[in-house]
Structure 1
Amino acid sequence: MEHHFRIDVFITAIDFQLQELDNRFSEHAVELLRLSATLSPQDAYKSFKIDDICSFVEKFYPQDFTEQEKIILKFQLDHYKLDVPKHSDFQNMSTLSELCRGLAISGKSKIYNLIDRLIRLVLTLPVSTATIERAFSTMKLVKTRLRNRMEDEFLTDNLVVYIEKEIAKDFTTEMIMDEFYSMKDRRR
C-alpha cells in the first residue's frame, strides 16, 4: 500500500505539477527567478554567488547599468559578501524586501548603491509584470474587432480610463467639459 501511494500517487502528482509549471513559465522567466534568488538573504546568504549576480545584471539589466558600473558592482559584491552577512542587523533576514529595508536603515545602501539598485529592480518585477498583464487584458476588452481601426492615442486614452476606473469614477461630465473648455476659448 505504501508503494502505491508513494510511487503511483505522490510521485505522479509531483510530476504533473512540474509539467504544469514548465508549461506555464518560459525558460527565460525561470532563469530570471533563479538568478534573482541569488540575492536572497535566506539561510545566511547561502545562495549568494557573485558570478551569477553579474551574469544576471549582464543578461537582464544591460541598460540599467553602464559598463563601468558593472565593473564597480563586482567589487561592491566582493565587499558586500564579506560585510553584510556577518553584520548583526542582517543575520535574521529572509526576504529581499527586508534586506532592502535593512540596507536603507543602516545606511549601507549608500555604500552598496549598485547592489541596492539591483535589489530594487528585482523587487519591482512582480509589480511591473502585473501592470503589463493588466494592460493587455484591458486592451483585449477595449480593442474589439469593431474598434480595431482605433488610433494609438485614442486607444491609450481609453485604456487609461478603463484601467484607472477608481480614479475616473470621481469625474463628472461637467468637470470634463469645464476642463476641455478651459484649454481654449470654445463655444459651449
Structure 2
Amino acid sequence: MDDAYVPYGKSARYAHARNQKNDDHFRREVYIGVIDQISQELDNRFDEINMELLSCMSAFSPSKSFASFDAQKLRRLAGFYPNDFSNNNLVQLELQLDNYIDDMKRTECFQGLDNIVDLSVKLVDTNRHKVYDMVYSLLKLVLLLPVATASVEMVFSTLVIVKTKSRNKLGDIVLDDCLQTFIERDIFFQVDEDDIIETFMSMRKRRINK
C-alpha cells in the first residue's frame, strides 16, 4: 500500500508525477466514495419520518425486561395512524400504557422475551390483548408495517421485470395476474400443469360445435 499508485494504462512516470500512494488512492477515492454512496442510499430510504417510526417501534421491544419501553414514543407512534386511533383511543392508550408496563415487568411469563412477535403471542395466550386492547392494536400495526413495506417494494421490483416493452399495453387486470403469478411463483411451481389446462378448458367451451 506504500507503493506509488499506477492507474490502469498509465506509465510509472505518470504515477511518479502524481506522487500518490496506493493507500491514499484506495482510501480517499474508492473507500470514502463507496461510503458516501451507501450514506446517500440510506438517506433516501430512511428519511426523518421513517427514522421516527423505527425509533418509536423500538419502544415496544420486550428484550432486557422491556428496557427500551417509552410510553411517550408509543403515544407518538399511535399519532401516525389517525384512521386507527381517534382522540378517544389515544386517551385510552395513554391510560393503558402505565398499567401495561407494570404488568409486563412483574409477570414471570413475559420475562426473557426477545421480540415483539413473541410478545404478541403471549398477550393473546394470557388474554391480556383484551385488557390492553389499545396497546395490542398498536402492536399489530407495528407487526404489519415491515411486511407491508417489503411487499410494496417487492411489487415495484417485480413490475420492472414483468412489464417489458412487449407487455406495455397490457390491461391492469392481466398485468395484476402476471405480477401475482411471478411473485408467488414458488407456490405455482408446485401446481401440476395438466390440472391448470383441465381447469381452463372446463371454464367454458373453447370451440363452437358445428
- TM-score for the superposition, normalised by structure 2: 0.70
CA positional deviation for 1:141: 0.2
Q: Is 2:138 the partner of 1:118? A: yes
Secondary structure at 2:165's aligned position in 1?
coil
Moved more, 23-32 or 110-119: 23-32
**Same amino acid, percent of matched pairs:** 34
Match of 1:81 in 2: 101
Taking the TM superposition and a 5 Å limit, the aligned residue runs for 1:125-140 are 125-140=145-160
Gaps of 5+ in 2: 1-30
| Cα displacement (A) at 1:111 | 1.0
Q: 1:171 to 1:39 in 2, by over 3 A?
A: closer
Q: How many residues align?
A: 175
CA gap of 1:23–1:187, structure 2 versus 1, over 3 A, is: closer
Q: CA deviation at 1:134?
A: 1.6
What residue in structure 2 maps to residue 37 of structure 1?
Answer: 58
1-structure distance, mates of 2:192, 2:108: 55
Aligned partners of 1:171, 1:153: CA distance in 2, in Å? 22
* Aligned: 1:109 with 2:129: yes
1:2-151 → structure 2 map (5 Å cutoff): 16=35, 19=39, 21-59=42-80, 61-151=81-171
The 3-state SS of whatever aligns with 1:94 is coil
What is the CA–CA distance in structure 1 between the aligned matches of 2:92 and 2:61, rounded to whole Å? 20
**Match for residue 165 of structure 1?**
185
1:150–1:89 distance in 2 versus 1, CA, 3 Å: same
CA deviations on 1:34-87 (whole Å, 9 max, x unpaired) are 01011112333233222221121111x222334432322221112212322222
Are 1:179 and 2:199 an aligned pair? Answer: yes
Taking a change above 3 Å as real, the CA distance of residues 103 and 184 of structure 1, as seen in their structure-2 partners, is: same
Distance in 2 of aligned mates of 1:44 and 1:31:
23
- Shift in Å at residue 158 of structure 1? 0.6
Instruction: Give distance in 2, aligned partners of 1:160 and 1:96.
Output: 30
Summarize the Cα distance change of 1:92–1:173 in structure 2 as closer, same or farther, 3 Å threshold: closer
Alignment TM-score, normalising by the size of structure 1: 0.77
Greater C-alpha Rg? 2
- Structure 2 Cα separation of the partners of residues 47 and 92 of structure 1: 14
- Aligned Cα root-mean-square deviation (Å): 2.8
